[in-house]
Structure 1
Amino acid sequence: MPDARPRRRRVLVVAAAAALLALAAAVLLARWWRDTTTGAAFLTDYPGTVAPPPGTPEGFPAWLSWTHYLNAFFLLFIVSSGLHIRSRTRPIAFVTRRNRGLLRTARAPQRLGIHTWWHLAVVALWVVTGLVYLVLLLASGHWARLLPTEWAVVPNAVSAGVQYLSLDWPAHDSWRSYNSLQVLFYSATVFVAAPLALLTGLRLSPVWPRGWMRATGLLGDVTARRTHAWVLWYYLAFTVVHVGLVLLTGMRENLNGMYAGVEDSESWLGFAVFAASTIVIAVAWVLLRPPAQASIAERVADVRRLPAPPA
């Protein structure tokens, strides 16, 4: 069978080139339009930000910083293990849950490849983190910064998008409020993408009741797999754009707010914390490879390691 990898590389190169050309065209179009009478008037009427309701808390409390960091930490392993599963690479080990104690079920445990087991284990931690985040978000009143509260957010989001595309950034004061485009994307990520990822992931996982299995329909095999894959790519794209804009639109101010909890555009404290946390993630990435994942699995399940394939 011919090797399909060269063809895939060519497709990726062509797709990347097309994306760059489309982005360049969008930048030129945005810069032209904002200088027209219509564009200038639109940006004046809709500057890109809608003030949150009165009394909305400001700043970034410690719980928000920690859940933000843990979310990034867990998502790295969720996405990487998800890509392993999609690539159908041969796992180095298989994991079978021990069917006793509180986890005892009438149905025999299903054997899982180490990539699938690791994916589910980290997802469980991600879900716990998300639940803590949601409870604190609602209890603290910070939800009002994240959720759109009036229709004016829509034209203001368009305005912010035009400003980003024209490389003339919208007014920036995330300590008090996000711009409207951020509001839409952040709320969609938390309240749409995350539940979709969880629901479709559960549908594809061994914990989904067999009686609810369907080949077609809203939660059918094909729909669930496609939706889960699209959410994965959304998270990848969102992360790249989000991190890029954080670094490009007032890096020190942004990092001081999220990582140090202070409103300061001069200090390097937030950057230092960000750098240290990134090193922790990188070290974890190196250490928690499939062999280490199998060792962790052995503490809670039966693991069968496979011999290495011949060289």
Structure 2
Amino acid sequence: MPAAAAPSAAPAAAPGTRTTGTTSLRRGLPRVPGGEPWPAAGLAPAAAGAPAVQAGPQQIADAGPAPAASAVEADAEAEPAAASAPGATTAPAPAAQPAVAAPASEAQSAVAAPAPVAQPVAPPPAAAVVPAPAAAAVEKPVKPKAEARTYGSRTLGQRIKLVVLFAVGGVAAAAILVLAARGVTTLPGVPEFLERYPGAYDLPDAVEPGFPWWAQWAHFLNIFLMVLIIRSGYQVRTQQKPPAYWTPKRGGKKISINLWLHQSLDILWLANGLIFVVLLFASGRWMRIVPSSWEAVPNALSALLQYMTLDWPVETGWVNYNSLQQIMYFVVVFIAAPLAAITGARMSEFWPKNAKTLNKVYPVEVARAIHFPTMLFFVLFILIHVFLVFATGALRNLNHMFGGTDVVNWVGFWLFAAAIAITAAGWYAARPLVLAPIAKRFGQVSSR
């Protein structure tokens, strides 16, 4: 590329320049901090007639002053090389300044005017980059926590808390009742009432004392069946998906295996109760649990007040129950049990579905509204009954119903322990794995 024609007259020397003959040499900034202006004063002038071109900042920093003779070729070769170098920027290089022509006589002393040193431009501030770790830490998969097993609508922990809450509340309520009852006994006329009605009235002489063997067996079977009936009834009420289904051989509606167990136990329980009632009237012992005098009412109130004050009435169960026991046993045997049977039959498969008039008179909603509270009554009665058995002379009372004797020894207790063990085994066995083979004898068992 031909060099541009030099101007006919050189410009006046600017401050910071050095004059060589008729050519002024421009001096730039120091190369090092605190140094002299560059180029130094002793540098030789460029050859005559060689055009001087401005060198790039990188060339000046790396190689110092470039020879003037090859400035254009070096610059022409540096541009494509810089463009292809890795990481090179695409900013255009500054235009070359025209060289000042020097006379031939002073060609040897002429020095090419150096290009001004470009000040480094600070790059724009880049966003802060957080250095990534050399190797990302491998996180272990978090194993999800297993959901707590629910029993009905509550977990085991929730049920334990509920039981503890009821226990604490029951103790507090009992303490309040005891204090209130003791206060009632100090009211005017109450001591005379307790003396007139001690808690029991005399039975006819024809009533034999004691508990026969059939009463003992009926009592044991009643415990066994009632516990399993309450358990299966609660399962039927709270089950969402039955574990298995049962269909009668003769055809009919498919029901859950828990409902089949509940209804089967109901039939056995009714059969046991029917045999007990028949033998109770046949032996004349019905007067022990059926009130035969209006004196039973005030005596029952007297016995209740004595229980509440923790001053237990005299226990003579081998010969005669107190009036409160007599009334409660009468309610259980002759009211609650038939009520549970009638309401249960209305909800069972044995009830005729096509009896429109009967179903209208006795709708199933009424049966459901009565059946469940009846079960709760049985649960409450059992809890109070067992508590009083142990609180009013455990060995003697257990001998009455399990040992058939009025003496105080451990026979009745161990028989009672065996009855509880059998009941617990029946509770454990009442599951589909054990029930399915038994249920297949009376129908078909399927999983859906």
TM-score, normalised by the number of residues in structure 2: 0.62
Say yes or no: does 1:292 pair with 2:443.
no
Q: Which residue of 1 aligns with 2:416?
A: 274
- The 8 Å contact of residues 203 and 320 in structure 2, kept in 1 or not, is answered as yes
Say yes or no: does 1:185 pair with 2:328.
yes
The verdict on how the C-alpha distance between 1:19 and 1:223 changes in structure 2, with shifts beyond 3 A counting, is: farther
State the distance in 1 between where 2:341 and 2:271 align. Answer: 12
* Identity between Structure 1 and Structure 2 (%): 38
Higher helix share: 1
Give 1:176 deviation, angstroms: 0.4
Give 1:181 deviation, angstroms: 0.4
Q: Which residue of 1 aligns with 2:281?
A: 138
The alignment of Structure 1 onto Structure 2 pairs a total of residues equal to 294
Give 1:193 deviation, angstroms: 0.1
Say yes or no: does 1:41 pair with 2:192.
yes
Give 1:24 deviation, angstroms: 2.1
Give the residue type in structure 1 aligned to 2:242.
P
**Which one has more relative contact order, counting CA pairs under 8 Å at least 6 apart?**
1
- The 8 Å contact of residues 213 and 220 in structure 1, kept in 2 or not, is answered as no
Say yes or no: does 1:28 pair with 2:170.
no
Q: Which residue of 1 aligns with 2:390?
A: 247
Give 1:263 deviation, angstroms: 1.0
Q: Which runs of 5+ in 1 are unaligned?
A: 100-107, 307-311
Q: Which runs of 5+ in 2 are unaligned?
A: 1-149
Q: Which residue of 2 aligns with 1:104?
A: none
Give the residue type in structure 2 aligned to 1:74.
L
Q: Helix, strand or coil for the counterpart of 2:189? A: helix
State the distance in 1 between where 2:163 and 2:380 align. Answer: 15
State the distance in 1 between where 2:337 and 2:305 align. Answer: 27
State the distance in 1 between where 2:356 and 2:260 align. Answer: 20
Say yes or no: does 1:67 pair with 2:210.
no
- The 8 Å contact of residues 228 and 426 in structure 2, kept in 1 or not, is answered as no
Q: Helix, strand or coil for the counterpart of 1:173? A: coil
Give the residue type in structure 1 aligned to 2:183.
W
Q: Helix, strand or coil for the counterpart of 2:245? A: strand
Say yes or no: does 1:203 pair with 2:346.
yes
The verdict on how the C-alpha distance between 1:185 and 1:95 changes in structure 2, with shifts beyond 3 A counting, is: same
Say yes or no: does 1:161 pair with 2:286.
no
State the distance in 2 between where 1:207 and 1:127 align. Answer: 15
Q: Helix, strand or coil for the counterpart of 1:95? A: strand
Give the residue type in structure 2 aligned to 1:270.
G
Deviates more, 1:17-26 or 1:160-169: 17-26
State the distance in 2 between where 1:299 and 1:213 align. Answer: 33
- The 8 Å contact of residues 147 and 183 in structure 1, kept in 2 or not, is answered as yes
TM-score, normalised by the number of residues in structure 1: 0.88
- The 8 Å contact of residues 215 and 221 in structure 1, kept in 2 or not, is answered as no
The Cα RMSD (Å) is 2.2
Say yes or no: does 1:111 pair with 2:111.
no
Q: Which residue of 2 aligns with 1:79?
A: 230
- Residue deviations 1:120-171 (CA, integer Å, cap 9, x gap): 1111111111111011000001101010001110010011101111111111
State the distance in 2 between where 1:214 and 1:228 align. Answer: 21
- Residue deviations 1:254-274 (CA, integer Å, cap 9, x gap): 01111010111x211111111
Q: Helix, strand or coil for the counterpart of 2:445? A: strand
The verdict on how the C-alpha distance between 1:297 and 1:227 changes in structure 2, with shifts beyond 3 A counting, is: same
The verdict on how the C-alpha distance between 1:232 and 1:96 changes in structure 2, with shifts beyond 3 A counting, is: same
Computing the radius of gyration from Cα coordinates, the structure with the larger value is: 2
Give the residue type in structure 2 aligned to 1:50.
Y
